[in-house]
A and B are shown apart, each in its own frame.
Chain A
Amino acid sequence: MTASDEKSLPNPAPRPQSEVDDLLRAWATPKGFRIVTAVNNTVIGLIYIAAALLFFLLAGALGVLIRTQLAVPENTFLNQDLYNQIFTVHGTTMMFLFAVPAMEALGVMLLPQMLAARDLPFPRLSAFAVWAYIIGGLVFFSTVFYGLAPRGGWFMYTPLTLKEFSPGDNADFWLLGIGFIEISAIAGAIEIVVGTLRTRPPGMSLAKMPIFAWAMLIFAAMIMLAFPAVIFGTMLLEIERSFGWPFFTAAKGGDPLLWQHLFWFFGHPEVYIIFLPAAGLVSMIVPTMAGRPLVGYRPIVVALIGTGFFSFGLWVHHMFTTGIPALSLGFFSAASMAVAIPSGIQMFAWIATIAGSKGRFRITTPSLFVLGFLFIFTIGGLTGVMVALVPIDLQVHDTYFVVAHFHYVLIGGMVFPLFATFYYWAPMASRKQLSEKLGRWVFGLMFVGFNVAFFPMHLTGLRGMPRRVWTYPEGVGWDTLNMISTAGAYMLAAGVLLFLLDLALNFRPTSAGGEGNPWKAGSLEWLPSDIYSTRSIPLITSREPLWEQPGLERQVEEGHHFLPNAPTGGRETIVTSPIEAEPEYILRMPGPSWTHVTAAVFTAGFFLLLTIKLVVPAIICGVVAIAACLAWTWSLDPSPGRKPVDIGGGISLPTYMAGPRSHSWWAMVVLIIVIASLYTAYVFSYLYLWVVSPEVWAPVGSPMLPAPSWPLGSAALAVAGTASMVAATRLLPEPGGRNAALPWAIAAAAICLTSAIALEIAGHWLTGLRPTENAYSAMVFMGSALNAQLGFAIVVLLGFATARYLTGKLNRERRVSIENGAILYYYTAAQLVAGLILVHGFPRVAV
């Protein structure tokens, strides 16, 4: 690098040391017990990963208990009821409390570092999600200790999980566990979408983004589309359990298969939601060990997108044995096989990168786990192709063959990359690297143990052993195979224990920068860093900046790149444009706080108390949680009054942004996509139940619909409310001014919307329709229930905006708090009108 190159850096002049002190002050981690108020991604990310690891160990221990019980036929180690609870909690915890959170945790931990952002765009939101997840997860898991755990399997098929066949609160605890992962997953998706699209370093266009960031972006998009289906499903299940609205009861026009459709529409993409980030991690590790850029960057990105796309077209392959017509079986069979292609592309891209190594491919502990992953995942993928063939699935579905298959896919496809990740990225978060020597033993025990445990299960299944059985008779041909599997499981567990020993001996967590760049990797997370991340935010001109931009480490550390200081005195990062990553504005971020922690604790309290039917205390907790959220958000729309800030390179950026370029607007749009997918699940369910049970539909099987004046009135109110809302956003005063009409416009909008919702409910109620009557009536009222939920949120948001106005914090410039409410309002009005067309129009047309 020549001197003239140095001069072209954004901040070529030497920088004062006082800037580092400012950064250290702004980003200081709270001390002592106040660590729980921390929001910095390196602190929260570590807590998140530790919690996910804890749940992996707990659920793994249950797996060992399962294997112990099945070691010999007719074993009495566990009784039937306890076994049923244990396998349910094992699956639920592994999927919901370990796999998805672990991947989000890695996103929280690694993404800002890879993007050289100072933090994720919504630091308190991730911290909130982490605490809600930890509290909720621990309470859910602990139910297994006092016999309160669900026993319906992680898939919770109806009608087994309805009140009639599952009395008691056990099943509700499952719904609770899911509730928390839903919250943290959606929060994570918002963080990741806005984080990857808006907080990349200047110059890092989408085409230069690390593969892991691509994988996480697609991961988040899939969460946005897949999770709403299961959120909606769990709502229906809990409502049917608590209030008897018959969505799944065949005798009243419901259908147990509706649950399966909703569950697997989420449940299948879920597998790829877990796998894609893991594949992204592998795509980061392989090039480093090969000492060269990844072969096939573009095909891999296309493959990741393709996987995400296909994964939504195969949920029915979990339902091949339900008696679905052969034509749809053929379609879903083909789609299930097609999804193997993107995996094939990635597999061969990794092999190509290994083959193209500069010198030898380095066989380190992370590489061993990656190679183990390639082997195991190939087998899991191929048995996946086998079960995608309908006739084979008819035999092996719900047998140990499938247990073997998905453990190959999940342990191979996710746990092995995760352990590779632990060994690879530990030096970034620890003052000491993990032991390469112990690591090889960990890998050896896990790899051999895994295969010994799970390979024989293919045969156990082919010999007819079904899943989810707590005992089996002697002499059917399963005894030896099960004993081998159990021995393997113990070996796998020994490998995990050895890993814990390695952690205890060598892992010394720090958020002030780890060990430097021990693997000589090319991506930004290996830049020198401290609690504020990198001293300055680099200008990126290549995909592997640390390899292709010599001297970058030193330049960044000396503050020669962007934003080498804390110009507003607080925490801040650069927001860039979504595609080309051109700097747009400075995002001022909140620091440590008790508000989001309080919100998390009381949100957990709300769900827990509701689960055990203590309604009044639950409501109190809910109110406190909302109050805490409002207190938390009160500081998030800071005064825009500052002058633009110079970040270097002759670029001055504003420190405030509203409207479609702001991160807040983007987050709201992500949330609306989530809500819209949930409503799509509702529309699907409505039409699906009509196909199954047209006989209960109005006007034949249920009271005549209310007269058209009812829905027209409701729609008119929604339109009037929308007009009022638009008016409110135009009535915003100049900074420092007042506009007495504003609160009235806001109030009118709120009243119109709530009246529109109430009118729709009243219209149906007056025809004599009751939600417990049949599947049709339940679906009709469910539509209003969804609108009412949004209506409640809007009333809170508009009340918040009014309070902001009254305290002089809402005006023409500083308008984010009303913008968010307005976007949600417009969406809700549209959803309401769409619902009216469906509920009032469809029966009139269809009959």
Chain B
Amino acid sequence: MKRVLERCSGAALLLVLSACTGEQSALVSRGREASEIGSLFWIATAVSAAVTILVIIAIMFALWGPPTWKDLLSRERAVLLGGIVLPVLVLTYLLVQGSTLLQAGVARTQRSGEPSITIVGKRWWWEVIYHLPNGETVASANELRLPVGRPISVRLETADVIHSFWAPQLGGKLDMIPGRSNVITLEATEPGTSRGQCAEYCGGAHALMAFYVVALPPKDYRAWLSREAADARTPQTEQERLGERLFMTSGCGACHTVRGTEARGVIAPDLTHVGSRRSLAAATLPNDEEAFARWIAENQHIKPENLMPEFDVFTPQQLEALSAYLSSLK
């Protein structure tokens, strides 16, 4: 028993030490909320580990300890001490820590003002809308860009079922609920890219509803936002022009918007600058020409039940042209 426990705790320690890696890890913080929660988490973990060890020691003494210890442990007073006094102290301490942090989060949300970004969860992708100071909006999808060093309020809504927005390296999650509008405050503390994912089961392709968060220095962010607000780049090569024609004549514009063209659909992701995003299909595929072609022709195999039909009518050349066009929409 003892040996098994030692081995278990050894393995556990190893796992804990290796935990702090991964682009979606809550233990790697690139945001203020995440780093504060991280500190609370380590405190709670330490306390829990201490209590676990205490209980194990108590059990071992109860089983194999010297008679005097056994005698002490077997009194009703030991039950009240271990069962009431110990938990009350530990829990009060943790509760105070947790509540302080909770209040700080609330205060920060109140300070950070009106949300400047709205994210709408849809089956199974994210519409990201930036509200410009002049009242205009810029629609994008499956990627959230933030300026480093300032708290940003993000409004979270849904177009269909409940989703939950979660960017672990920045902070905790918050649900997107029909009929409600929740606001989350995020503050990126360093530039870089991390991954997030829908955390509330939303049916079908829930597993394939992820996104990237890109934190930029404020200057870069402003530059990016003005580029993002512009209309789509016009096709340059013959192949891109063929791709654009195919896009417009095959009905793609019924669902997708490419600003500056006749494609003004609203039910699917805005593709105006799709070529500049990190991924396709809500972080399901890398963003390259081959991925575009695969997605158009066999998306139901890649992401079953997604609401886009497969277009297997195109010849390989046509697919290449479409992919080239879409990739060029930087």
Option from A249, A374, A393 in Cβ contact (under 8 Å) with B59: A374
Say if the beta carbon of B232 comes within 8 Å of chain A. no
Asked if A462 and B27 sit within 8 Å, CB to CB, the answer is yes
Say if the beta carbon of B327 comes within 8 Å of chain A. no
Asked if A382 and B51 sit within 8 Å, CB to CB, the answer is yes
Residues in A with CB closer than 8 Å to B160 are 159, 165
Asked if A295 and B76 sit within 8 Å, CB to CB, the answer is yes
Asked if B55 and A374 sit within 8 Å, CB to CB, the answer is yes
Say if the beta carbon of B314 comes within 8 Å of chain A. no
Asked if A386 and B45 sit within 8 Å, CB to CB, the answer is yes
Known: A348-B82, A391-B37. A337 touches B91 (CB 8 A): yes
Kindly provide the distance from the CB of B195 to the nearest chain A CB, expressed in whole angstroms.
7
Say if the beta carbon of B58 comes within 8 Å of chain A. yes
Asked if A464 and B26 sit within 8 Å, CB to CB, the answer is yes
Alpha-carbon distance A151/B84, docked complex (angstroms)? 42
A384-422 near B? 1/0 per residue, CB < 8 Å? 011001111111111100000000000000000000000
Binds A, one of B12-20, B134-142, B243-251, B261-269: B12-20
Asked if A250 and B24 sit within 8 Å, CB to CB, the answer is no
B45-83 near A? 1/0 per residue, CB < 8 Å? 100100110011011011101000111111110111111
- Chain A interface: which size bin? 35 or more
Asked if B172 and A321 sit within 8 Å, CB to CB, the answer is yes
Option from A251, A355, A385, A463 in Cβ contact (under 8 Å) with B25: A463
Known: A341-B84, A378-B52, A382-B48. A463 touches B178 (CB 8 A): no
Asked if A392 and B41 sit within 8 Å, CB to CB, the answer is yes
Residues in B with CB closer than 8 Å to A354 are 59, 62-63
A78-89 near B? 1/0 per residue, CB < 8 Å? 011100100000
Say if the beta carbon of A57 comes within 8 Å of chain B. no
Residues in B with CB closer than 8 Å to A375 are 5, 55-56, 59
- Chain B interface: which size bin? 35 or more
Say if the beta carbon of B8 comes within 8 Å of chain A. yes
Residues in B with CB closer than 8 Å to A166 are 203
Alpha-carbon distance A465/B15, docked complex (angstroms)? 16
Residues in A with CB closer than 8 Å to B78 are 348, 351-352, 355
Residues in B with CB closer than 8 Å to A389 are 40, 44, 94-95, 97-98
Interface residues of B in 150-164 (CB under 8 A from A): 160-162, 164
- Residue of A166, A344, A375 with most partner-chain B CB within 10 A: A344
Known: A152-B203, A337-B91. A321 touches B175 (CB 8 A): yes
Kindly provide the distance from the CB of B151 to the nearest chain A CB, expressed in whole angstroms.
16
- Residue of A81, A356, A382, A467 with most partner-chain B CB within 10 A: A382
Asked if B8 and A395 sit within 8 Å, CB to CB, the answer is no
- Residue of A80, A354, A394, A468 with most partner-chain B CB within 10 A: A394
Say if the beta carbon of B218 comes within 8 Å of chain A. no
Alpha-carbon distance A741/B54, docked complex (angstroms)? 74
Asked if A391 and B202 sit within 8 Å, CB to CB, the answer is no
Asked if A355 and B84 sit within 8 Å, CB to CB, the answer is no
Alpha-carbon distance A217/B64, docked complex (angstroms)? 35
Asked if B74 and A80 sit within 8 Å, CB to CB, the answer is no
Asked if B73 and A352 sit within 8 Å, CB to CB, the answer is yes
Alpha-carbon distance A165/B40, docked complex (angstroms)? 38
Asked if B197 and A464 sit within 8 Å, CB to CB, the answer is yes
Asked if A84 and B203 sit within 8 Å, CB to CB, the answer is yes
Binds A, one of B100-108, B252-260, B288-296, B316-324: B100-108
Interface residues of A in 739-758 (CB under 8 A from B): none
Known: A321-B172, A354-B63, A391-B37. A396 touches B26 (CB 8 A): yes
Kindly provide the distance from the CB of B119 to the nearest chain A CB, expressed in whole angstroms.
14
Residues in B with CB closer than 8 Å to A451 are 8
Known: A159-B161, A385-B91, A476-B24. A347 touches B74 (CB 8 A): no
Asked if B19 and A462 sit within 8 Å, CB to CB, the answer is yes
Asked if A321 and B173 sit within 8 Å, CB to CB, the answer is yes
Say if the beta carbon of A64 comes within 8 Å of chain B. no
Kindly provide the distance from the CB of B239 to the nearest chain A CB, expressed in whole angstroms.
30
Known: A355-B73, A392-B44, A464-B26. A256 touches B162 (CB 8 A): yes
Asked if B177 and A81 sit within 8 Å, CB to CB, the answer is no
Asked if B304 and A79 sit within 8 Å, CB to CB, the answer is yes
A635-653 near B? 1/0 per residue, CB < 8 Å? 0000000000000000000
Known: A333-B99, A349-B79. A462 touches B195 (CB 8 A): no
Say if the beta carbon of A29 comes within 8 Å of chain B. no
Kindly provide the distance from the CB of B185 to the nearest chain A CB, expressed in whole angstroms.
12
Asked if A355 and B91 sit within 8 Å, CB to CB, the answer is no
Interface residues of B in 18-48 (CB under 8 A from A): 19, 21-27, 34, 36-37, 40-41, 44-45, 48
Binds B, one of A322-330, A800-808, A815-823: A322-330
A454-482 near B? 1/0 per residue, CB < 8 Å? 01100100111111111110001110010
Smallest Cβ-Cβ distance to A319: which chain B residue: B175
Known: A80-B204, A165-B160, A471-B207. A341 touches B87 (CB 8 A): yes
Option from B37, B63, B172, B304 in Cβ contact (under 8 Å) with A81: B304
Residues in A with CB closer than 8 Å to B41 are 386, 392, 395, 462
Say if the beta carbon of A623 comes within 8 Å of chain B. no
Interface residues of A in 243-297 (CB under 8 A from B): 249-251, 255-257, 295-296
Option from A337, A392, A477 in Cβ contact (under 8 Å) with B22: A477
Option from A159, A329, A337 in Cβ contact (under 8 Å) with B162: A159
Interface residues of B in 100-131 (CB under 8 A from A): 101-103, 105-106
Alpha-carbon distance A338/B94, docked complex (angstroms)? 12
Asked if A330 and B61 sit within 8 Å, CB to CB, the answer is no
Asked if A299 and B79 sit within 8 Å, CB to CB, the answer is yes
Alpha-carbon distance A80/B203, docked complex (angstroms)? 10
Option from B76, B87, B103 in Cβ contact (under 8 Å) with A326: B103
Known: A344-B84, A386-B45, A464-B22. A352 touches B79 (CB 8 A): yes
Residues in B with CB closer than 8 Å to A337 are 91, 94-95
Residues in A with CB closer than 8 Å to B178 are 159, 249-251, 256
Asked if B80 and A351 sit within 8 Å, CB to CB, the answer is no
Known: A251-B179, A389-B94. A463 touches B24 (CB 8 A): yes
Kindly provide the distance from the CB of B71 to the nearest chain A CB, expressed in whole angstroms.
8
Known: A352-B78, A354-B59, A355-B74. A322 touches B103 (CB 8 A): no
**17 cross-chain CB contacts under 8 A:** A159-B162, A256-B162, A257-B177, A295-B76, A323-B174, A337-B94, A337-B95, A340-B91, A344-B83, A355-B73, A356-B71, A375-B55, A391-B102, A391-B172, A398-B199, A463-B24, A466-B197
Q: Which residues of A contact B (CB under 8 A)?
A: 79-81, 84, 151-153, 157, 159-160, 165-166, 249-251, 255-257, 295-296, 299, 303, 321-323, 326, 329-330, 333-334, 337-338, 340-341, 344-349, 351-357, 361, 371, 374-375, 378-379, 382-383, 385-386, 389-399, 448, 451, 455-456, 459, 462-472, 476-478, 481, 692
Given contacts A398-B201, A476-B23, 4 further A-B contacts (CB under 8 A): A322-B182, A333-B99, A348-B81, A477-B24
